[in-house]
Structure 1
Amino acid sequence: MSRAVFKTEEGKDQILRFYDGMLKKYPIANQSHIDTEQGRTFVLSAGEPENPPLVLIHGSGSNSLAWMGEIEKLSQTHRVHCIDIPGEPGKSESVRFDSTREAFSLWIDDIVKGLKLKKPLIGGLSLGGWAAIAYAISHPDKVSGVIALAPTGIVKPKTGFLIRTIFYSMRGEKGIRKLLSIMFDGEPVPEEVVEFQLLATRHFHFRMDTPSLFTDRELQNLKVPLTYVCGKEDYVFDGSKAVRRLNKINPAIRTALTDKGHALTDIREFLL
C-alpha cells in the first residue's frame, strides 16, 4: 500500500532544499528522472557513457547523497547511476511502495530499461543491498554482479536495535549524534550527515518493516557473482554470523568482514 512519507510539505521542502544545496558541490553528476511503475525516480549519473554501468542504491531513511564521497572516483572507471528509492527522503516520488521483492525488482528493472543499461553491476547499502540481491535472484540475465554492503535479508536484525534507534531519535540532536556515532563505529561523522539526519528525524516517517530473509536455496542457486561486505561492529546485524551462513551455503559468494560499522559506502576495493 502506498502512503505519503513526509510529515508536512514544509518539512519536505526543507529536506529537498538541503539536498539541492549538497548537489551543487558535485557538478560532475547529471540529474534526471525515470518513470517507473513504482513511482518517478531521481537519478544522478556520472562518468563516460562508454564505461561499464554501475547502479548504486542507498539504504532506508537516506538518498543518493550517501554515495557522494565515492562518485567522483567511481566515475573514473564506471558510468555510475545513483538512484533514489521512492518513498525515502530524496527527490523521487514521495510515496512508499511495499517492501516486497517483487515490488523492488520491478522498480529496478524499470530503471535498467529506462537507462538502457546492459547487464550493470549493482551496488547497494542495507535496504539497497537487499534490493540488489533480490533483483539478481529474479533477473540473473540482466546483472553482471552485485556488491551488497551490510544488506538486510541474510540474518535477522539484532534484538532491540529498532527500539534503541527510536530511543536515540527521540532525544534530539544529542541522541542523533550518539546514534550516528554508533552507526559509524566511532569514526568522525560529517556535519552534513548530522544535519540531514536531524532534518529527516523531524520531517520524515521512517520505514518500520523488515524485508524478508533469503532462503538457503535462493542463495545456493544464485547465478550472479555476489560480494557481501559487513562490519564487525555493525549496529543492525551480526556480520560474523552472516558471513558464516553465506560461506556454508555457497562458498562462491565472496565475503568480507571489515572493522567498520553499518555506515559502509566505499565499494571501490570490491568492484568485480
Structure 2
Amino acid sequence: MATIYKSAKAKKEVLGLYDKKLESLNIPHENIDINTTYGNTRVIKTGNENGQKVVLFHGINAGAPLTLESVKKLRDDYLLFAIDTIGQATKSDETVLDIKDSSYAIWAEEVLRGLNIEQANFIGISYGSFILQKLITYKPETVSKCIFVVPSGLVNGAFLPSFTKLTIPLVRFFITKKDKHLRSFIKPFVPLDDTFMFKLQKALLLGVKIDFRRPTLLKKEAVSHYKNPVYMIVADDDIFFPANKAVKRAEHIFSNLKEVHYVKNCKHMPRKKDLPEIQQAIKKWISDTNC
C-alpha cells in the first residue's frame, strides 16, 4: 500500500503528536472507526449526548484533536463528531482522494451513514471547508447549518505575499533543515507562542509527502440548490484566504449567507485567546431557531 509518510519513524512521530494533543485536552471521548469505499476513517465523538449533533472537518493534516481544541467548550451543549480526513496525517487510512471529482463528498457521506447521522450542523475549518463544500454539492440535505471557518475553496491568497512570506522560507527550510527558516515559514499563519504547531509543522514537513494541491474554487451553480443557513468566520490577517476577498465571493455564491464574524488581528490560525470568541459565535448560530 502506498504511504504518505517518508518513513515508519516519521509516521510514529506525527501520530505521537496527535496522541499528545488529544491527551492534553483531557476530555471524555470515544474513538469510532468507520469503513468506507476509500478505507477506514477515524472519528472522535465527544460532548453532550442530549445536544444537537455537530460534525467537524479539520484543516490540512491538522487532525481531529487540534480541531476539538479550538471548539472544546462546545462540548457542554453539543455532541461533537470530529472526523479525521482520509489521506492526511491522521488516524484514518492514507488513501489520497481526487480533489476535482466527488470523492470527498462520497467519502464524507459514507462516514455519516456509518455514524447513523442523517442531518447535523457542520463546521469546516480551512481545508475542511472545502470538504464541507463538496458535501453540500452532493448531499445538501445532510447539512442543517453550514459554518465555514477561515475557509478554503472560495479564494486564494495573492501571489506575491505568498511567494515572499511562504514559498521562499519553505524552500530555505527544505534545503537547510534549520529551525530559523521553519519559524520564518510558519510566522505568517501560526501564533508565535504556539510551540506545539512548530513541532507539528516540522514533523509534517520533514516526514510527510505533503499534498500541495490547492482546493478547487467553488462555483455558484454547484451550491445553488443548498438553501439552509451559511455562516462564516474569517481572520483579518489570513495570508492563505484573505478575509475581505473570501467574504465578497461568499456573498456572490451564497444567497443564504446569514452572517460573517471577523476575528481581529488574527492570522489563519487563531491565538488561544481568540477561541472563546469563535466558540461564542458558533454557539449563537447553532442555537438560533429563527433560521
- What TM-score do the two structures reach when normalised by structure 2? 0.84
Which one is further off, 253-262 or 207-216?
253-262
Distance 1:10 1:213 in 2: 35
Partner of 2:218: 214
| Paired residues of 1:130 and 1:148 also in contact (CA < 8 A) | no
Distance 1:50 1:118 in 2: 16
User: Among 266, 269, 272, which residue is 2:281 paired with?
Assistant: 269
| Paired residues of 1:46 and 1:71 also in contact (CA < 8 A) | no
Q: Which amino acid aligns with 1:30?
A: E
| Paired residues of 2:227 and 2:256 also in contact (CA < 8 A) | no
Alignment of 1:55-74 (within 5 A): 55-74=55-74
Partner of 2:227: 223
Partner of 1:178: 184
Distance 1:216 1:163 in 2: 32
Q: Give percent identity, aligned residues only.
A: 19
For residues 28-66 of structure 1, the C-alpha deviation after alignment (integer angstroms, 9 at most, x for no partner) is 222221111122111111013232111111111321122
Partner of 2:201: 197
Q: Which amino acid aligns with 2:189?
A: M
Distance 2:94 2:193 in 1: 27
Distance 1:127 1:69 in 2: 17
Partner of 2:4: 5
SS in 1 for 2:19: helix
Runs of 4+ off more than 4 Å: none
Partner of 2:77: 77
Listed as ranges, the gaps of 5+ residues in structure 2 are 287-291
Q: Which amino acid aligns with 1:211?
A: P
Q: Which amino acid aligns with 1:238?
A: P
**CA separation of 1:257 and 1:6: change in aligned 2, threshold 3 A:** same
| Paired residues of 1:4 and 1:96 also in contact (CA < 8 A) | no
Partner of 1:103: 103
Q: Which amino acid aligns with 1:179?
A: F
- Structure with the greater relative contact order (CA < 8 A, sep ≥ 6): 1 or 2? 1
Q: Which amino acid aligns with 1:167?
A: I
Q: Which amino acid aligns with 1:246?
A: A
For residues 73-132 of structure 1, the C-alpha deviation after alignment (integer angstroms, 9 at most, x for no partner) is 111111111111112111111231222351111111011111111311111111101111
| Paired residues of 2:166 and 2:185 also in contact (CA < 8 A) | yes
Distance 1:216 1:27 in 2: 39
2:254 pairs with 1:255: no
Q: Which amino acid aligns with 1:218?
A: A
Partner of 2:239: 235
SS in 1 for 2:212: coil
SS in 2 for 1:257: strand
| Paired residues of 1:147 and 1:267 also in contact (CA < 8 A) | no
Which one is further off, 110-119 or 153-162?
153-162
Distance 2:74 2:168 in 1: 36
Q: Which amino acid aligns with 2:96?
A: R
How many correspondences in the alignment? 269
Partner of 1:16: 15
Partner of 1:159: 159
SS in 2 for 1:247: helix
Partner of 2:45: 45
Deviation for aligned residue 1:249: 4.3
SS in 1 for 2:98: coil
Cα RMSD, aligned residues only:
2.2
